[in-house]
Amino acid sequence: MVNPGQLPWAAALELRRRLREAGCPDWDWEGPWLVEMVTGRQPRFDDTPLTAGQAAELEELARNREKRIPLQYLSGKWDFLTVTLRVGKGVLCPRSDTELLCQEGAALIQRIPEPQVLDLCAGTGCVGIGIKSLVPGAQVTCLEKSPQALEYLKENCSAYGVAWKEGDLFGYEKELPAQSLDLITANPPYLTKEEMAQLQPEVAWEPAMALDGGEDGLVFYRYLAARYGDCLKPGGWMALEIGWEQGEAVASLLEKEGWTRIRVARDYEDRDRVVLACRP
């Protein structure tokens, strides 16, 4: 129990113990991080006793984290590349793995004046906004279907000068002019039916529609490979985040649909994470 008058460093140690017992994978830094979130100061350098309000807020945060509610939801905001995004229940949490999608996508368009970019399944907008932060001249539009996610997408896009639209990936290609885009990005749902039945506790709090990729996890990739090529300018690119075991399967789908220069980029843990493909 976090109590008024408790020193921040002692509260951080107590939270570490509680979060470890609750099974939180990063309990060792999360405990101090929660204290710092409430006090605004690093607990190991802080000898100011917790006020009653701070103790109550910290206790509530701790109890929610013990339920394995994602840390991003508890914070209400999250850093991604060089930007800070609003996040909360009903939208997929931004993750560091997805930064690779932005970096790979940005590298493909950095020499194009005012490149036209479409980000599908946008969620918080982290991918589109991330690319905009890396290529400031890019004209980026983020598409999202979920009403809950749109709440966060609108706010984040407005803060960083990115356009947004409400719409469904399945069919939206019909609204796009032919050969109008330089880059299409997406971090679509890609978990298999089996994986959906075995979600980690934190992931289970996130919206299923942002996770469920169908029986084999490839439903969205099949549609993207078959339907979105004509929306790209000659030599335009598609960049897709994938599950770490899906590199070969997604690359094969794109190859069968006539995409070229296909390659798989690996993340910081040396796992397949992004597939890139060019439309001739």
pTM for the complete prediction? Answer: 0.95
Measured CA to CA, the distance from residue 195 to residue 211 in angstroms comes to 10
Phi, then psi, of 253 in degrees rounded to 5: -60, -45
Domain hosting residue 146, numbered range: 77-278
Task: Give residue-wise pLDDT tens across range 259-273.
Answer: 999 999 999 999 999
- Is residue 1 a part of any domain in this protein? no
- pLDDT band, residue 280 (cuts 50/70/90): confident
Task: Give residue-wise pLDDT tens across range 100-142.
Answer: 999 999 999 999 999 999 999 999 999 999 999 999 999 999 9
* Cross-strand partners of 212: 191
Whether residue 52 is found in the same domain as residue 101: no
Domain boundary among 27, 46, 67: 67
Region 190-202: mean pLDDT is: 96
Region 55-83: mean pLDDT is: 97
- Is residue 100 a part of any domain in this protein? yes
As for how many domains the chain has, the answer is 2
The CATH number of the domain holding residue 247 is: 3.40.50.150
Domain boundary among 45, 67, 89: 67
**Contact (CB, 8 A) for 44 and 32:** yes
Arithmetic mean of pLDDT over the chain: 97
